[in-house]
Amino acid sequence: MDIRDELQATVDALVQPGKGILAADESGPTIAKRFKAVGVESTEENRRAYRSLLLATPGLGAHISGVILYEETLGQRADDGTPLPALAARQGIVPGIKVDAGKIPLAHAPGDEITQGLDGLAKRLAGYKEQGARFAKWRAVYNVSDTLPSRLAIEANADALACYAAICQEAGVVPIVEPEVLIDGDHSIERCAEVTQDVLHELFHALHRHRVVLEHTLLKPSMVVAGQEQARQAPPAEVAAQTVQVLRRTLPAALPGVFFLSGGQTPAEATVHLDAINRQGPQPWGLSFSYGRALQEPVLQAWKGSAGNLRAAQAALLHRARLNGAARDGRYDAGMEKAGPTGASR
């Protein structure tokens, strides 16, 4: 199989109807914060046990097509000695890897940030691929105000995302590009739409410059929503209309799939918004989910570090995955929330 066939096979596996991606790539500080909220110490063993719990959830592959892992997780094993990427693959879930090295302040652009990690990326990808990773993810962030992000931040992050994507494709790894327009602040939904449109326009110009093959690229954008401190929070139908309008103005039809991030939304909000977006009608690309906290928050609350809570935690994950799988196809109903987890083996 040549590289193009390899990339296409991975894309096809990820963009299946009714399925989305589980983001389990929290950095050390982030997972420590989430563990602390449920009274669990962030040790290597606890992280291994928790991520093993996620990937071993019976039936998860019916609703999850891929999982984004943290570098540490690629080398960890389940209790029976199975490498965690292989544990995912057993269920038809494609293993992926977060490859950026985090964000730092952007020079000469107060309030803006840039993502690091391009140095040595090709070599790292070769190692990740040997460990089972078939796709990668790189996140850029954009702070929003009346003046942010600056033009410099929009262009610099677009170029880094495109360079990363090109390196991935040469290595036979499908790139997920993640331009996150942050929800922090009091900006309106209209301001979010304006920034998102500018960010996506520049991103696809950069991908073209770097000769990135769009058919072998996936997008992980934020939805168009108002800032968390904004008094007026738009209803789901407006979020959906604004989001789809921006996508239709900026995304080439050649792109095979869009996997929204949840970006600070509650688990229920993220599902309702995804469903509303898919009810806007058929689009040139599949519109799915790549959620972290919006899938995992109920899981952590159920688990709390206790092996005795494993089945309840897995049931909580399967429940949210099932609901988002329905929203992926515009089939979600609020009554599904009330049903609650019914067991991980269902």
Q: In which residue are the tokens 């999850």 written?
A: 64
Residue listed under structure tokens 């919006």: 294
Half-sphere exposure of 176 (CA within 13 A, CB side): 33
Which residue intervals of the chain are DSSP H helices? 3-14, 28-37, 44-55, 71-74, 84-89, 121-130, 151-170, 189-209, 236-250, 267-278, 293-303, 310-328, 335-339
Sole residue written with tokens 């490498």: 83
Q: Active site includes 19?
A: no
| CA atoms of 38 and 300, how far apart (whole Å) | 7
Nearest to 138, CA basis, from 97, 105, 104: 97
Q: DSSP secondary structure string, 240-254?
A: HHHHHHHHHHH--TT
Closest CA to 206 of 164, 146, 259: 164
Q: Which of 26, 113, 137, 178 is catalytic?
A: 178
113, 137, 220, 297: which is the annotated catalytic residue? 220
194 is catalytic: no
- Would you please indicate which residues are annotated as catalytic (active-site) residues? 178, 220
